[in-house]
Every structure is written in structure tokens, then in C-alpha cells.
Amino acid sequence: MSTVAKNTPILVQKYGGTSVATAEHIRRVAKRVTAEKRKGKAVVVVVSAMGKTTDELIALSSEISGKPPRREMDMLLHAGEIISASLLAIAIEEEGESAVSLTGSQAGMITDESHMQARIEQVEGERILRHLTKGRVVVITGFQGVSRQNEITTLGRGGSDTSAVAFAVGIGAGQCEILTDVDGVYTADPRIVENPQKLPWCSYDEMLEMASLGAKVLHSRSVEIARKFEIELIVSSSVEQTPGTLVCSSQKGRKEFGEMEEVLIRGVAHNADVAKVSLLGVADKPGVAGDVFAALGKHQLNILLIVQAESHEGHNDISFLVPSEMLNQVEGDLESLAGQTGAQKVHIDRDVGTVSVVGEGVQREAGIAGRMFKALAAEGINIDLISTSNLMISCVVPQDCLEKAVQAVHREFLE
Amino acid sequence: MSTVAKNTPILVQKYGGTSVATAEHIRRVAKRVTAEKRKGKAVVVVVSAMGKTTDELIALSSEISGKPPRREMDMLLHAGEIISASLLAIAIEEEGESAVSLTGSQAGMITDESHMQARIEQVEGERILRHLTKGRVVVITGFQGVSRQNEITTLGRGGSDTSAVAFAVGIGAGQCEILTDVDGVYTADPRIVENPQKLPWCSYDEMLEMASLGAKVLHSRSVEIARKFEIELIVSSSVEQTPGTLVCSSQKGRKEFGEMEEVLIRGVAHNADVAKVSLLGVADKPGVAGDVFAALGKHQLNILLIVQAESHEGHNDISFLVPSEMLNQVEGDLESLAGQTGAQKVHIDRDVGTVSVVGEGVQREAGIAGRMFKALAAEGINIDLISTSNLMISCVVPQDCLEKAVQAVHREFLE
């Protein structure tokens, strides 16, 4: 762990919106932060906006405009974290410790100028470190930054996790605690599975797969940055003091937790908020798939899964998943895409979902796919599409079977 | 009037919190701003926080701390104007004009670091001008600035007027419109006097006296800056399109409005929110009065009026007025001050108010004081203290007579 003064460990904590939803919540967080400070740590706290503030600001803007300029939305939304950060600094001072709140801009979060989805270019940590060396708790607004042209930017939804990890990198901290309303990463969604288990740890790669396959506990970007700079993430409860889940490298995790035998499957992820698009009977010639996804790319869509089956008689079927809420944006383009690619038909299915197993054991154990498909079949669940990587196996199933599918797969591998 | 491109007049408008209280209010302001833009003007708009936002943020902070750090209060409160400014920019874009919102910091409002009552050091207008030359309406957060150390500051209550005038100076505009919920400056408070008249104009000095004597329409600091840099202020309604009140130099006003005969009294001001403090029987020796007000000065009190009568038998009475809400702060000091100064008694009277006549004619016409005192006497109102300057005559009267006093004096000079 890095140090500010000699032997002073740096602690970076991130608190989400539900953890700072009211003045009382903020006072509670302040007590917890103060306790850490009094253990001799240099403490940096990154906060989201209070509760539903961001949603309320968005609602205000949509009373005024159906399509507000992205630059102005960034300006508007960044007020939310300014409020929570300054209130938390006030609460920490009230607890008797010295504290200072900093905007993303003041804290040195330099981004490009892509409003509402800015990419981090650099974190200039000097100002944070200067305050830390003076014994102050530094409270920073998450989610937001500033461009080199002094324009306010935001990192997109879930950006506060990303901010927190980036600040940990910028000031040379080795760890970042993500404190939230769940107390760790579970083997499956506790609302669906009866006895999910809290993971003591998982690897960056496993976490990334789980996030991209529907697990909502951590934002992918934060994990990517953590992996790149080897920042250990600790996901735990902002209220209770129970141990959470450590997200770290495979090597570190295995060593730390004495995992001698391979864990085949770390968890089961699912995603109900997807729609399947199929271009049927596309001409089987080079460049067609490229045309399709280049055309969709201009919507900055997150394409979740692409499957192209064997061609027959010179024609292909290309299927892919998009987030349900994005479907309206692309629907108009799909007809013209069909024309361009010579597809005979475009088929859209909103009533699908994905169930996925994730784990570093997936690639090493040939039988896992078979066990998964059999477990689904035993419940009478029809598998529509299949996609695999070295870390996961993902199946598209009818949405009304999704819960049953998650339960069946969890039972097969994790109970 | 200054120009951006050749022949493009610059218009600076300031809208107060009630004028941007809801999304609907903001849309209405946007229409008005857009209309001005389409007349070929380069438009800068300075806004306060929406409605009661500032009060709500203060309430939140006091749920957390009885004495929040001033630096953090600045951080907290400056979020309010960020919300209103970005929403207004969105609304102007929705009306079809290009707009951009800027924080005080982005707009170049450089202040010292006296949190919650920062003094303006400089306005660096380049960024505003750059946007104006690109044809954008520039919407700026009022009330707030930034220090050279990149600390967020606020200018104190009413600071948005001050911001607007300072920005007018900074970008070389000759005028600043203050658009509010009243449609001008009146000869007396319309809630008290039956037929007050809207002033077509008044001088900077008269406006300053009226503001310091209780008129709430403009913040004194804004008028001081306007006077210093000869920025004409126009106070008018944010809703109706009636002509307002021009605040300018005596020379300009007289010439513009063809005021050949002297107007003796411009208006009647009053203030019910004062308390009278009297140190009775203070030793009549050099330095005593200095000690008293130096000791009170550390509270950054606004002492409204000081009267010291003739001494008799080596003793003086010193009386002064303080804003009622400040009385608690000084009450403890008064006893020790009494000891220091040898005062025989400290007397505090909360049930007082001031009625004042203001006008550049006051000094030139000897009989005005007599007419005022007679008018009060005719109503049976006892005058407690009297203070005069070359622009005003101010009387302390019992608070329960204050309305009657204002009516009597208004009738004598202005009906």
C-alpha cells in the first residue's frame, strides 16, 4: 500500500447514492469514515449523488426538453455530487475530523470531452495528496470530471465506481473499497436463488464477465481500470461491518484464500433487459457482418452478444442482443440494414433473457457446457442461442423461463 | 454600449430565484431571452438558484451541523445555481437558439477566499466573449466565484445582482437588467403605502441610501460596482414588459428624463428588522467609541446607524442600530463592553424601526427635516433618534408606529 507520510496507509472508499440518501445516512457514513481516519489512515471518500437526485434532475430537464444538449446535462447532473460531497465533509467536521470536499475538476479528474460518457485521460492527484498530508479527509464528487478545455463532463451511469478506482490509481493507493447496499458479490442474484453464497473473492476477469452478463454490483469500467493498474477492489456493505468480496488478480486471490483446487464456476449471472435481433438470410459474403455492426456502432450501442451460425445455400443468419432500452433507437435502422445486407427478414424478440456461468474453470473443464445445457433441458427450457468465451458460457432462453434457468444452473454448480 | 462583433450590442440580464422557480418559469425566461437574441443582441444571462433551493440546501446542512464550515457551505450552495443555469441553457436550446451555461469559475469570476462573503477581485471575460462571438447565449451562475487557489466561493446573500453587474463590467457592457418579481423601484413599499409611484429613474447614490435604509429591491454591492464603473442598471419585471426603473448617474438621469426642477425626495425607505443598542453613561474620553465599534467589528456586523449625543457631566450615551438577527451574536459581548467602557447601563430595544427620506434634494433644502419631523408629530409619533447625511434623513421610531410613519412621510413629500 502506498503512503502519504511514511507508514500512513491510504484508504479510498466509495459510497453509492443509497448510502448517502438522507442527512441521517450521511451522518452515519461520516462516523464510519471518521473511525477509519482515527486508525491512522489517510482517507479519501468518493460519493455519488444523494438517493434519487440524479433521476430528479433528469426529470426536471425532460420537463423542459425532450433532447437536452449533452454538455448541459453534464453541467446539470454534476450538481448532484457537489451537494452530497459537501454535506459529507460537513458531517465529518461535525464528528471532529478535518475534511474538505473537492469537485471532480478540483480533484484532478481530467477527461476527454465526450459529454455524458467521458473517458478518463489522467488523474492529477497532487491536490488530494496535499490535503491528505495536512491530515484532512478528502471527499470527492464521483461520476464527474473536467476536460482540458475546462468543460464539465460526466463518466456515464455508474461512473462513481470508475472515479473511485481512478483516484486510487492517481494517488498511489493499492486498494479501493466500494461500499454499497449489498455486502458483497454473490454466486447469483439473491432475489432469484434461495441460498446464494457471498464470494470471498473473485478475479478481475470473472467480475468483468459477470458485470457484462448482467450482474449489477460493479460497473465494468471500474473493474477494467482496477485490473489494468492492479488496484484491489473490496465490495462490502456501507452499513454492516461484515467482510465483503475482494476483487483482485487470480494469482493474488488463489494465494490469499488458499484455493488449491480449482473453483470451476464462480457465479451465475443473468440479464432480463435484453432484446434479440436476427437478420435472417443474409448474403454469405465478406464484409456483411462488418457493415451491420458498423451501422449500429454509430448509436454507441452496447452489443451484448453476437452469434452467426453456419451458412447454408449462400445465406447466413446473424443474431445479436442489444439492451432493451436501446431497441427503439435502432429499430428504424434495422429495416434499411436489412435492405443493404440483402437479409430476407428481420426478426426482433423482446421476450428473451440470458443465463450465464462465469469462472476461470470454464475453459479448463470440457464437461461444463454439457452440464449446463442438461440442467436447463431437465427443466424443459429451450436454449435459443449459445455463446462462449474462455471465462463464460451464456445461453439465450425465453424470458419467462429465466428465473427457473438461473435456479437450475446455480443448483447444478454451486449448491 | 460595447460590442462583440461590430454593431452587436451586449445585453446582460439577471433573473432572480422566483423568476426561475420551476421548469415552467425557466421556459418562460428562455422565451424572453431568445426574443432578445433575435433582435440581434449578444445576450448574457445571470441566474440565481431556483426558488427556495438555497434555503433547502441550508436546511439540509443544518440537519447535519449547527456550525458547518464556511468553505463547505460555499461548495454546497454553489450547486443551486449550477442547476438553474444548465436548465435555462437547455430551455434556450429548446427554443432554437444556441446556448451554453458557465459556472462562476468557468465564466472568470475571480474572488478572494472569504467564504460566504467573497469580494470580487477580477472578472476575466474572455471565455464569455468567445462564446458570444460564436452566437451563443451565455448563461452564468450568479452568486458564486472561484479564488486563485481554485476554491469555490460565494458572494453572500443577494450576490447574484453583484455577479451580474460585475460580468457587465468584465465584458464591457454598459447596461445590466435586473429582472425580478417587482417591476421597478417605488417611492415606498407598496405593501404599506396606498399609492406609491414607480420611479422612472434614480441615481446610484439615492439607490444606495435606499438599499442601506431597508429597500430590498437591489443589493448595495451591485449598485456600488455599477456606480464605480458607470454601468446603468434597469430594474424591471421578469414577467411583464413594462418599463422599469433606470439606476444611473445624476447627470445622465436628469438629462435623459428632462428633470429641470429638483426632485427633493426620491423615496421613503423603512426598516423594521433592527434593534437599538444604547450604552448609557459611557466615560467621555477619547477612544471609547473606537473601542466599542472595534469590538463589535469582529462579528462583521453591519452597524446601521450610530448616534452619540452631547455629553453631560463627563458622560456620554452611545446608541446604534444592528440588524435584529445579529443581536444574539453581540449580546454576550455587550456586557463586557459595558465594563470596558465604564458604561453605567446597557439598554437594548428590539421594538424599533427606521423611517427615512432619501433624495439628492435633501441637502439643498433646509426645510425638509422640519417637514418630516412635523409630519411624524402630527401622527403622534415620537422620534427616538435622528441621523442625517447629505442624501437622507433617518428617524428611529417605535416599531408599532412604523407603518403609520411611512405613510405620513410619503404623503408629505410624494403624494
Min mean pLDDT across A65-69, B3-7, B54-58 is at B3-7
Selecting from A64, A75, A103 the residue whose C-beta is nearest the C-beta of B94 gives A64
- pLDDT bin (cut points 50, 70, 90) of residue B2 is very low
Cβ of A93 and B72 within 8 Å? yes
Residues of A in contact with B90 (CB under 8 A): 61, 64-65, 68-69, 72-73, 76
Selecting from B65, B85, B90 the residue whose C-beta is nearest the C-beta of A69 gives B90
> What's residue B300's pLDDT?
67
Nearest residue to B356 via CA among B265, B414, B269: B269
B192-213 pLDDT, tens per residue? 999 999 999 999 999 999 988 8
Cβ of A60 and B71 within 8 Å? no
Residue A211 belongs to domain spanning: 10-256
Q: Which cell numbers hold the place of A109?
A: 479528474
Cβ of B69 and A90 within 8 Å? yes
Above pLDDT 90, what percent of chain B?
68
Gap between the Cα atoms of B141 and B81, Å rounded: 5
Gap between the Cα atoms of B305 and B355, Å rounded: 12
Work out the minimum CA distance from B411 to partner chain A, whole angstroms: 47
> What's residue B325's pLDDT?
83
Cβ of A64 and B106 within 8 Å? no
A57, closest residue in chain B (CA to CA): B83
To the nearest whole number, what is the mean pLDDT of chain A? 91
> What's residue A2's pLDDT?
44
For residue A80, tell me if it sits in a domain: yes
Number of structural domains, chain B?
1
Residues of A in contact with B99 (CB under 8 A): 72
> What's residue A307's pLDDT?
83
Cβ of B91 and A27 within 8 Å? no
Selecting from A23, A26, A64 the residue whose C-beta is nearest the C-beta of B27 gives A64
Gap between the Cα atoms of A340 and B413, Å rounded: 84
CATH number at residue A192: 3.40.1160.10
Q: Which residue has the cell 461520476?
A: A143
For residue A409, tell me if it sits in a domain: no
Q: What is the mean pLDDT of residues B319-338?
A: 82
Interface residue of A31, A56, A64, A150 to substitute, partner B, most B CBs within 10 Å: A64
Q: How far apart are the first and last CA of chain B?
A: 36
List all residues 6 or more positions away from A13 whose beta carbon is below 8 Å from its beta carbon: A33, A36, A43, A44, A45, A46, A164, A176, A177, A179
Q: Over chain A, what HEC string results?
A: CCECCCCCEEEEEEECHHHHCCHHHHHHHHHHHHHHHCCCCEEEEEECCCCCHHHHHHHHHHHHCCCCCHHHHHHHHHHHHHHHHHHHHHHHHHCCCCEEEECCCCCCEEECCCCCCCCEEEECCHHHHHHHHCCCEEEEECCEEEECCCCEEECCCCHHHHHHHHHHHHCCCCEEEEEECCCCCECCCCCCCCCCCECCEEEHHHHHHHHHCCCCCCCHHHHHHHHHHCCEEEEEECCCCCCCEEEECHHHHHHHCCCCCCCCCCEEEEEEEEEEEEEEEEECCCCHHHHHHHHHHCCCCCCCEEEECCCECCEEEEEEEEEHHHHHHHHHHHHHHHHHHCCCEEEEEEEEEEEEEECCCCCCCCHHHHHHHHHHHHCCCCCCEEEECCCEEEEEEEHHHHHHHHHHHHHHHHC
A332-342 pLDDT, tens per residue? 777 777 777 77
Cβ of A69 and B103 within 8 Å? no
Work out the minimum CA distance from A106 to partner chain B, whole angstroms: 7
Cβ of A89 and B75 within 8 Å? yes
> What's residue A6's pLDDT?
66
A21, closest residue in chain B (CA to CA): B60
For residue B205, tell me if it sits in a domain: no
B240-262 pLDDT, tens per residue? 888 999 999 999 998 998 876 66
Selecting from A65, A75, A103 the residue whose C-beta is nearest the C-beta of B93 gives A65
Q: Which cell numbers hold the place of B119?
A: 469580494
Gap between the Cα atoms of B289 and B287, Å rounded: 6
Cβ of B75 and A150 within 8 Å? no
Gap between the Cα atoms of B278 and A108, Å rounded: 54
Min mean pLDDT across A300-309, B193-202, B405-414 is at A300-309
Interface residue of B28, B60, B82, B86 to substitute, partner A, most A CBs within 10 Å: B86
A120-138 pLDDT, tens per residue? 999 999 999 999 999 999 9
Selecting from B78, B90, B150 the residue whose C-beta is nearest the C-beta of A65 gives B90
> What's residue A78's pLDDT?
98
- Number of A to B CB contacts under 8 A, please give it: 111
For residue A162, tell me if it sits in a domain: yes
For residue A95, tell me if it sits in a domain: yes
CB neighbour burial string for A79-114, b if at least 16 within 10 angstroms, e if fewer: bbbbbbbbbbbbbbbbbebebbbbbbbbbbbbbeeb
pTM of the model: 0.87
To the nearest whole number, what is the mean pLDDT of chain B? 91
Above pLDDT 90, what percent of chain A?
68
Q: What is the mean pLDDT of residues B305-331?
A: 81
ipTM of the complex: 0.85
Selecting from B63, B71, B91 the residue whose C-beta is nearest the C-beta of A65 gives B91
> What's residue A1's pLDDT?
38
- pLDDT bin (cut points 50, 70, 90) of residue B237 is very high
For residue A99, tell me if it sits in a domain: yes
Cβ of A82 and B75 within 8 Å? yes
- Measured in degrees and rounded to the nearest 5, phi and psi for residue A357 equal -105, 140
Selecting from B60, B65, B87 the residue whose C-beta is nearest the C-beta of A61 gives B87
Q: Over chain B, what HEC string results?
A: CCECCCCCEEEEEEECHHHHCCHHHHHHHHHHHHHHHCCCCEEEEEECCCCCHHHHHHHHHHHHCCCCCHHHHHHHHHHHHHHHHHHHHHHHHHCCCCEEEECCCCCCEEECCCCCCCCEEEECCHHHHHHHHCCCEEEEECCEEEECCCCEEECCCCHHHHHHHHHHHHCCCCEEEEEECCCCCECCCCCCCCCCCECCEEEHHHHHHHHHCCCCCCCHHHHHHHHHHCCEEEEEECCCCCCCEEEECHHHHHHHCCCCCCCCCCEEEEEEEEEEEEEEEEECCCCHHHHHHHHHHCCCCCCCEEEECCCECCEEEEEEEEEHHHHHHHHHHHHHHHHHHCCCEEEEEEEEEEEEEECCCCCCCCHHHHHHHHHHHHCCCCCCEEEECCCEEEEEEEHHHHHHHHHHHHHHHHC
> What's residue A300's pLDDT?
67
Gap between the Cα atoms of A410 and A386, Å rounded: 18
Contact B344, B281 (CB under 8 A): yes
B26-40 pLDDT, tens per residue? 999 999 999 999 999
- pLDDT bin (cut points 50, 70, 90) of residue B6 is low
Residues of B in contact with A93 (CB under 8 A): 65, 68-69, 72
A154-180 pLDDT, tens per residue? 998 779 999 999 999 999 999 999 999
For residue A128, tell me if it sits in a domain: yes
For residue B65, tell me if it sits in a domain: yes
Cβ of A75 and B93 within 8 Å? no
> What's residue B294's pLDDT?
78
Q: Which cell numbers hold the place of A70?
A: 449533452
Cβ of A93 and B101 within 8 Å? no
B123-146 pLDDT, tens per residue? 999 999 999 999 999 999 999 999
